[in-house]
Amino acid sequence: MRKSDSLTGNFDWILFAVYCILTLMGVATVYSTAFNEEHPHLLDFSQKYGKQVIWVLFSLFLGLLVFLIDSDIYKKFSIPIYAFTLVLLVVVLFMPAVNGAHAWLGIGSMGIQPAEFAKIGTAILLARFLSSINLKQQNIQTVLIANGIIIIPMILILLQPDAGTFVVFTSFLFVMYREGVTYDPLLLKLVNAIPGVKFRETWVGSHFIPILFVLIFLSVATLLISNQTIELSFLPGVQIAGIYGMFFFLFLFILLGYFFMRAIFPKRQRRRALIISVIALVLATILTGTVNVAFQKLASHQKDRIELVLGLKEDPDGDDYNRNRAMAAVGSGGFSGKGYRKASVSSVESNHVPESETDFIFCPFAEEWGFLGSIVLVGLYLFMLLRIVIIAERQRSTFNRVYAYAVAMILFYHFAINIGMNIEFAPVIGIPLPFFSYGGSSMMSFSIMMFILLKLDSQRKDVLG
């Protein structure tokens, strides 16, 4: 295998430049948000902005070390790297709780969050596994292993509990969908176990992600309908209350689907339409029932968050205070903003927006720079994501391509959910804005993730497989 003659011969300076711009903008925003008149110097390490500078410099140092390592190392040592992150996820469960979660490893402000680094380990091992198998000859074992790589850290993260990172791990499902991982072998095994049923193929497993969106839609519809009483206009005086209304609509919808399939299927396959409809009805009923029961068993504050997001209740000065204040801060910036260090609603002094330098850092930025500045920031993130996709598509190595798409999806999740939290489009689940929010663990993990990608891409012409 021939290696590049120049260390930075194929280095993607465009992606690196965007990374640097976002990082500098983040430091500037943290400085503005957490500014203390008694400690005005940016390099005052007793303040959050001084600590953020340390984290940025240390992250760049780690990034340089990562870039100096030969790209083959990540593939060869993917299993030890993944196993090490799992060990950290187990150890952290025995550490003292911080803000109700066993997510921090260390002492006080010097702690790190292993879950942030578990994303890297999972991305590397998933890339190695998918690059080592023939996706045209998948079987139950390959499907279970690929999903197991993702599910194991998700379970450990859920035990902390860290709902935000748990959600981010579902981004790997889109990566597998892009690479053509199908659940057909597993589904065929289950379906063909039914007496009298014999399927040679199924499109369900190959279209898992679209079906996942349908499941999410059904879950949301379940929560919305189960809290209301439905009146049937075509049956005067008849009402269906709660979850039974959802079951009624599922039955009607799938019944219509059955008659549609019966009309388009050849006569010899009409029995298949009936089987598909029955299976769909059973699965949909199980799903809606499970969602409803699970929702009832949630803690009260978790129920409140879901109901607030779905618009089932309003509590602007209580449980929805964070999102309400965040939206007020974003709106107060207007078209062009109030100017740098002139944020009032989202400043640390006002304390109207909790965690304004971490999870809600978009608020002070939007308040200072307004709609125009927000468009620029969103544009930079979208450009970064597009650049990573371009990098992924130009890889000759499957390992490199899968890893690149994993990075793109992780960053997209963080970007979309964090911005959504700030503008009332998403629940508050504690997800930092990449390269922007205050925090050492997120800055280091995102930087390491990015520099691994830059290293893999720099040797893309020399690597196959």
Local structure of 8: helix, strand or coil: coil
CA distance 162 to 101: 7
CB-based burial of residue 89 (10 Å sphere; 0-12 exposed, 13-18 middle, 19+ buried)? buried
Q: Which residue, among 182, 206, 175, has the nearest Cα to 389 in the 3D structure?
A: 175
- Confidence label for 2 from pLDDT (cuts 50, 70 and 90): very low
Mean pLDDT of all residues belonging to the chain: 80
Whether the pLDDT of residue 458 is over 80: the answer is: yes
More confident residue, 270 or 166: 166
pLDDT of residue 302: 66
What are 112's strand-pairing partners? Answer: 105
Q: Return the H-helix or E-strand segment holding 230.
A: strand 229-231
Range of 146-150, 225-229, 235-239, 350-354 with top mean pLDDT: 146-150
- Exposure string of 172-205, with b = 16+ CB inside 10 Å and e = fewer, is bbbbbbbbebbbbbbbbeebeeeeeeeeeebebb
Whether the pLDDT of residue 233 is over 60: the answer is: no
Whether the pLDDT of residue 61 is over 80: the answer is: yes
pLDDT of residue 49: 87
Compute the average pLDDT of residues 254-267.
74
pLDDT of residue 238: 46
Q: Where are the alpha helices (DSSP H) in 92-237?
A: 114-132, 140-158, 163-169, 171-179, 184-191, 208-225
Lowest mean pLDDT of 22-36, 183-197, 221-235, 394-408, name the range: 221-235
pLDDT of residue 407: 96
pLDDT of residue 197: 55
Q: Are 54 and 443 in contact (CB under 8 A)?
A: no
Range of 63-67, 138-142, 203-207 with top mean pLDDT: 63-67
The model carries a pTM of: 0.81
